[in-house]
Structure 1
Amino acid sequence: MKKVLITGGSGLLGQFLNLTISNQCKLHTTFKNNPGNCKDFPFSVVDILNEDELKELFENVKPDIVIHSAAITNPVQKENQTSKEYFDTNVNATKNIAILCEKYESKMIYISTDLVYAGYRGSFLKEDAKLIPASLYAETKLVGEMKVKESTDNYLILRTALLYGFGLNHSKCHFQNMYVDLKNRKPVKLFTDQLRTPISLTDASLIIAQLVKMDLINETINLGGTERVSRFEIGQMLCDLAGLDKNLLQKIMMDEIPNFPKVEDVSLNIDKLISLNLKPRSIEENINEIITK
C-alpha cells in the first residue's frame, strides 16, 4: 500500500483529500493551526516554512507520494499579509518540499491554479497556453511550479479550477457563503465577467485519488469541470436547484472590487484529464448532491 503525505491537510481541499486518499493508501496528513479532520488520521503538526520540521517529517514518514496542497490562496492580499509571506509559503517551501521529494524518491503532486493562465487569450485553455498570472497568489503558484520542475523529475502539476461545495469543519468557500446568504434571504453580489470551469471539492479529491494510483510523471494537467460559467451563472443554477430566490442575485463586474486582479477567462480544456478516463460530473449533478447531503 502506497504511503501518501499531504501538506495543508486541514485546508479546503486537504480535508477532502484526507477522506479519499485514506480509503486506498496509508495516509499521513499535516496541519499547522486548525486541525480540521486531520486528527481522524495519522498526522503531524508542521510549519512548512521550517526546513528542520520538513526534514524530520520526511524521515519519519518516508512517503511514496506527497500531495502538496498547503499554500496562501487569497487572490487579494489581506492587510496583514506581505509579499514575502506569499513567496516564503508558495515558492520557498514548495522548493524545499520538492528537494525532499527528490531525496526520498517520492512523487510530488503539486496543487497549482487555473489563475496562472493569461485571462485574455480565449477560452478552454490547454496546458501549453500562455501563462501570465495577474495576482501575487497566481504568480507565486507559477514560480512554485518552476521550482518543482527544477528540483525533481518525479512530479505531477495539477492546475486546479475554482473549487465549489461545502467545506468541512472550519474551512469554507465562496459557494458555501453564497448558499448561506441566499438561505437567509441576503443579497449576493456575483461576477458576470469572469469565466472559469469550476470543479466540486468532491470530484477534485476523487480525481486526485485516482491520479495517485497512476504511474504518471513529468506531467502538467488541467483539473477542472466541463462547463464554462461565471459566478453569477453558478448562483442562478443554485437558486434553480435549491428553490432559492434569484432576485437576491446581484450582477457585478470585477472592476467594481478595489484591487481585485482582473482575470476574464481562465476556463480550462480538460481533454488530457478525460483521456485518462477521469471526467468530473456536471455542475447540476454536484449541486444536487451538495444540497441534499
Structure 2
Amino acid sequence: MQTDYSADDVAAAASLQFFAYIYVLITTFWTYDYACSLDEEWKFLFVSHWTKVKGLYIVTRYVPFLLLATNLYLTFIPNENSGECRALDNICSGLGILSAVCSESFFILRTCALWNNNKILLAAMLVTFLTFVGAAIGVSFATTAPATYAISAIPGITGCYQSSSSFQLFIPFLLLCAFELGLLTLTLTRAIQNWRLTTSRLYIVLVNHNVLYYICGLLFSVANIFTSLLLHYSYHAILHDFQFIVLAILATRMHRHLWQMKRQTHGSDALMQIPMSDMSPTEHTV
C-alpha cells in the first residue's frame, strides 16, 4: 500500500476537503435562511396573486436546492468515473447559470421600472443580457467538455476536480460583472435625476435594493474572477455557487419585502403602481 504521496496529491486532497467543508457551510447557511423566512415565504406563496413574476420567484428560490443537492452528491459520494464527474459538473454549471439568470431577471425588471418601463431600454437590456448569457454558457461548457477530471490519490478523500487548467472560467463572471455595472449605472442615473422630486417610500426602497444587490454581485464577481485565475484544484471554484446562492437569497428577500410594503400601504402611496406580482413601480409623480 502506498503511504508516500506527492505534494500535488496532498494539495489536491486538501482542496477537496476544504471544498467539502465550504459546501456544508453554504448548505447550512441556505437552510438557516430558509427556516428563518419560512413564515414570510408561505404567506407570500399563498396570499400573492399568481403571475409570471411569481413563477420566476419560485424558480429563483428553489433551484438552489437542486444546485446544493447535486454538489453535495458530487462532493461526498465516492466516485471513480471521470465521465460521471463531468456530467455532474455540467449539471451544476447549468443550475448555477439558471439561478443567476433568474436572480438577474428580477433586477432587469426593477431597473426598467425605475425608467417607467421604457420599452427601448428593456429591449436593449434583454438583448445585452441574452448575449452575455449565451456567451457565458458557451464558455462554461466549452471549458468543461474537454477538461480532465481527477480524484484524490489519498484513500478516503471523496470528490473530483478539474486537473487541467480552466482559466477561461473567469469570463462568465467578467460578463456578469460588466452587466451588473451597467444596471447599477442606470439605477444611479435615475436616482440622481429624481432624488429631490420623489418622496415615495416604495421608490426609495426599490433604488436601495437595486444598489445593494448590484454592489454584492460586483464584489462576488470580482472575487470569482481572481479565484478562477489564481487558484488551482478545487479552490478555483470555491465561490462560484456561493455567489449564486447569495444572489438568489437577496433577490427573493427583496421581492418579498417590496410585496409586504405594498400590502401595508393599502393604496396610501398613490404615487406608485405595482404590477408584475406587486414588485416594481411603473411610474411616479413629481
Short-chain TM bin: under 0.3
TM-score (norm 2): 0.24
Of the two structures, which has the highest relative contact order with CA contacts closer than 8 Å and spacing of 6 or more?
Answer: 2
Structure in which a larger fraction of residues adopt helix:
2
Question: Counting strand residues as a fraction of each chain, which structure ranks higher?
Answer: 1
Rg larger in structure: 2
TM-score norm. by structure 1 comes to 0.24
